[in-house]
Amino acid sequence: MSIVVLGGMDRLERQYIDEGERFGMKLKVFSKLEGNLSSRLGNPDAFIIFTGKISHKALKNTSNIAKSKNIPVYYCHSAGMCSFKDCLKCIKKDSCKDCPFNKNKVIIN
């Protein structure tokens, strides 16, 4: 499973990747959002967006890309490892699909 992580903390980038590997997932982490992001995202199975650590413009662009490609987006306000692990568990179990907010948008605090 391929996951793109947007936002987050620079110092935790390696830990995000390592934790993803423990869950059997391949992660691309973009903690610093630079130009031409859409071409570097690829075609992931899901997005994890740390809403507290991403610009509104990048959030909107990524959400539009995900919507056009029908890719689920998991929004997580906190960029800490505990919240990140919870999000990975949610994706792995596919248990967040029935979230009352939206089937393709999951909010994890």
Q: How many CB atoms lie under 10 A from the CB of residue 71?
A: 17
pTM exceeding 0.85: no
Compute the distance between CA of residue 13 and CA of residue 20 in angstroms, rounded to an integer.
Answer: 11
Tokens of 2: 């391929």
Cα(69)–Cα(98) distance, integer angstroms: 20
Nearest to residue 20, comparing CAs of 40, 2, 41?
2
Structure tokens, 101: 């907010």
Mean predicted lDDT score pLDDT of the chain? 80
Query: What CATH number does residue 69 fall under?
Result: 3.40.1190.20
pLDDT tens digits, one per residue of 46-99: 999 888 878 888 888 888 888 888 888 888 888 889 888 888 888 887 655 544
Domain count for the chain, please give it: 1
Structural domain harbouring 13: 2-108
